[in-house]
A and B are shown apart, each in its own frame.
Chain A
């Protein structure tokens, strides 16, 4: 492949991963956490989000378009790497591999999740606490959703690290190590928030 625009596309891919997709994912996990306060709290929050003014515009420009660009270009990036963790089993090389594995898994997870929720809503089904509880009643789906949430939190947290390097924010080995610790904490915090919300439905 040879394109002069590669550099700018890569930077756009990196930026969109954080703004807006990363911010949306964080917001989504936080709002889901209302489920831990009971059915009514979750339904209120979900109705509030689902009935924001200009919701279709917001969905397309904050979520679908940036996410699709990031996801499809991400698949291209993922499949052009020749992973070699057997040769170099370092922490960073594993993170490099996992960033790609979680990314590819997220394409599958997000597609399924959108089909089960947003597309069903467009077809007239009520999206609420009961619907999620029904989905997560199936042990296979429960595991699938937990893996999906953990993949997203990992991919976002590790992506935050590589974002800091890609834009030249963290340069010295020391600053890169400190950013690693910060993103590990972000991964743990977001994972707890996300998984707690899932268990609130079961």
Chain B
């Protein structure tokens, strides 16, 4: 066989990729499964496959259907928008390479969050929680507050790791204690409190942030299954953050009860 005929043979014996996608038309309608079979291209990821389906929305039975909806933004695993459950595990679809997945590739929305349509979920709960735990550093005043204290370089490098969180929701999807029976704000949020409390200016309001996680739905809801740290795509040391905040809230609890009126340090 000449090289040419092999090439022709390979081209005609078309390789395809099979997808099983859990779809849902409206936030309240019932989910259903639909299969798709699309042509294989080298270096495909789940998003490029979804784009292929959008271009030609025909399911595996050859019937025309509606295009599958999903969310995306950065396409480089820094925004978190494209998170979904792929072959049983929550992760980002933009970095899920087809070559590394077993087929059929099963896509489901992260049902810990309300489903908007198909694979699109509403992560508003996390954004609200960020506001609730005061995940920012107050620098505004009625006059120029000047420069804040300097952050030691080694601490900055360490804090950078915690700041990589993209609020993707994967750790909430992985946590057995984040569900509709509890109102646990989730591992990421506890770690954010640690991040902002370790910033020299942020530390000026550390007691206020600790109070927010010592309330309903806060750190007390953690049951130490430690799935979050396994699931986080950014390798954030979530369980270390949780244990560190456990210690900080223990101290805060005693301070609140036995301490004086001086709360900050």
Q: A interface vs B, CB < 8 Å?
A: 1-4, 6-11, 77, 79-84, 86-88, 90, 92-93, 96, 99, 162, 165-173, 176
Contacts and interface: CB of A to CB of B under 8 A. Distances in A.
Nearest to A2: B216
A80 B217 contact: no
Interface string B191-203: 0000000000000
A2 B217 contact: yes
Residue from A84, A86, A170 having most chain B Cβ neighbours under 10 A: A84
Contact of A165 (B176, B216, B224): B224
B230 A7 contact: no
B179 A77 contact: no
B40 to A, nearest CB: 28
Given A167-B246, A168-B246, 18 more contacts: A3-B216, A7-B218, A7-B220, A10-B220, A81-B176, A82-B177, A88-B225, A93-B176, A93-B225, A96-B223, A162-B224, A166-B246, A168-B243, A168-B245, A170-B243, A171-B240, A173-B240, A176-B243
B6 to A, nearest CB: 42
21 contacts: A1-B181, A1-B182, A2-B217, A3-B216, A6-B221, A8-B253, A11-B253, A80-B179, A81-B177, A82-B179, A84-B176, A87-B88, A88-B225, A93-B225, A96-B176, A166-B246, A167-B246, A168-B244, A168-B245, A173-B239, A173-B240
Interface string B48-76: 00000000000000000000000000000
B187 to A, nearest CB: 13
A171 B225 contact: no
B120 interface: no
Nearest to B176: A81
B18 interface: no
Nearest to B243: A171
Contact of A167 (B88, B217, B247): B247
B227 A93 contact: yes
B181 A168 contact: no
B22 interface: no
Interface of B: 88-89, 174, 176-177, 179, 181-183, 213-227, 230-231, 237, 239-240, 242-250, 253
B227 A90 contact: yes
Contacts of A82: 176-177, 179, 181
A8 B250 CA distance: 10
B124 to A, nearest CB: 18
A75 to B, nearest CB: 13
Contact of B183 (A1, A10, A86, A168): A1
B223 A87 contact: no
Contact of A168 (B174, B223, B247): B247
B247 A96 contact: no
Contact of A92 (B181, B214, B226, B250): B226
Contacts of A168: 243-250
Nearest to A14: B220
Nearest to B178: A82
A2 B214 CA distance: 13
B225 A96 contact: yes
Contacts of B237: 173
Contacts of A171: 240, 243-244, 247
